[in-house]
């Protein structure tokens, strides 16, 4: 399951940060997850609950900012939200588009104590 390795990575980042900050627990983790990141939220929640047990994140709260994917048309420069990588420009129908955002999967902020 892809989500489990993602979650393990996030936990590692959070623990490294907490240790460096001299904290002993992570209270809150805020994540930016793009709609094109390929993350399944249900799998993510399940993996999260399993993986955080016994770590510094045991009692932490997870907040997720869902980032709507946006693209820019290389032909007419229109910017528009997309659901798939291969969506066409709604203005001119061109398929040559540049993904501006929506692929992110990162830790935005951490609260430790
Ligand atoms: Zn266009």
CATH classification at residue 19: 3.30.2320.80
Please name the residue ranges forming H helices in 21-113.
Answer: 41-51
User: What's the pLDDT at 113?
Assistant: 96
Looking at residue 52, what DSSP letter applies? T
Are the beta carbons of 35 and 67 closer than 8 angstroms? yes
Distance from Cα 96 to the centre of ligand 1, integer Å: 8
What burial letters (b/e) apply to 67-89, b meaning 16+ CB within 10 Å?
bebbbebeeeeeebebeeeeebb
pLDDT band at 10 (very low <50, low <70, confident <90, very high): very high
Distance from Cα 103 to the centre of ligand 1, integer Å: 21
- pLDDT digits over 99-112, tens only? 999 999 999 999 99
User: What's the pLDDT at 1?
Assistant: 62
Structurally, how many domains does the chain consist of?
1
Report the predicted TM-score, pTM, of the whole model to 2 decimal places: 0.87
Distance from Cα 74 to the centre of ligand 1, integer Å: 7
Distance from Cα 99 to the centre of ligand 1, integer Å: 13
Distance from Cα 71 to the centre of ligand 1, integer Å: 10
Domain that holds residue 38: 2-112
User: What's the pLDDT at 98?
Assistant: 96
Distance from Cα 39 to the centre of ligand 1, integer Å: 28
> Strand 61-67's sheet: what is its strand order?
61-67, 26-34, 105-112
Both structure tokens of 94: 């061109």
Work out the mean pLDDT of the chain and round it to a whole number: 96
- pLDDT digits over 34-85, tens only? 999 999 999 999 999 999 999 999 999 999 999 999 999 999 999 999 999 9
């Amino acid at each position: 399951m892809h989500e489990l390795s993602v979650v393990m990575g996030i936990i590692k980042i959070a623990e490294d940060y907490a240790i460096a900050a001299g904290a002993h627990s992570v209270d809150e983790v805020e994540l930016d997850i793009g709609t094109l990141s390929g993350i399944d939220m249900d799998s993510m929640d399940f993996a999260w609950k399993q993986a955080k047990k016994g770590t510094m994140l045991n009692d932490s709260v997870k907040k997720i900012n869902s980032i709507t994917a946006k693209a820019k048309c290389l032909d007419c420069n229109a910017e528009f939200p997309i659901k798939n990588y291969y969506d066409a420009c709604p203005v001119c129908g061109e398929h040559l588009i540049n993904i501006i955002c929506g692929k992110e999967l990162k830790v935005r902020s951490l609260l430790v104590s």
